[in-house]
Amino acid sequence: MEQFHQKRDDNAESSSGFEFIDAILRESDAGVTVDTLSEKYNVPVGVIYQWRALFLPSFKHSQRLKELEEENEQLRRFITDAMSDGLAARADILSQINSNLRGRIRPRGAQNETLRSSDHPSSNDIKAFDKSNALDAIDPKR
């Protein structure tokens, strides 16, 4: 592999052989032709094709894995946001129910008190109310 490193010194990112191969494969994956890479790094075309056959599937696999992990994280955030919105809505509904129930519950001292008939409208009052509303609907000037 030492023969491949002659032109590489000004282009090299590091001295590791795997990083050298990785740099070439990344450029190849980005669309740079194998002939151009061969001239740039002084590596035979056949060797680049061998590296692509050996390393590129795992490179693509690691890229796909990274994309899936990012998508998974986005979905987790979406679900947590949706759940927190749902919990907030439930808490709001429960607080409304509690406030409605508080208005209906009698205090402890009033447990034995019965409601007087004057507290409730009689059926005659309801009928009179309904008739007056019906007449207002027919003739609003009345």
Answer with the residue of higher pLDDT: 96 or 39: 39
Residue 129 has pLDDT above 60, yes or no: no
d(CA 23, CA 10): 14
Residue range 53-97, pLDDT digits in tens: 888 777 677 778 888 999 999 999 988 888 888 888 888 888 888
Confidence of residue 41 (pLDDT cuts 50, 70, 90): very high
What's the pLDDT at 12?
46
Residue 46 has pLDDT above 90, yes or no: yes
Q: Where are the domains of the chain?
A: 15-103
- Give which of 54, 2, 60 is closest to 26, Cα–Cα: 60
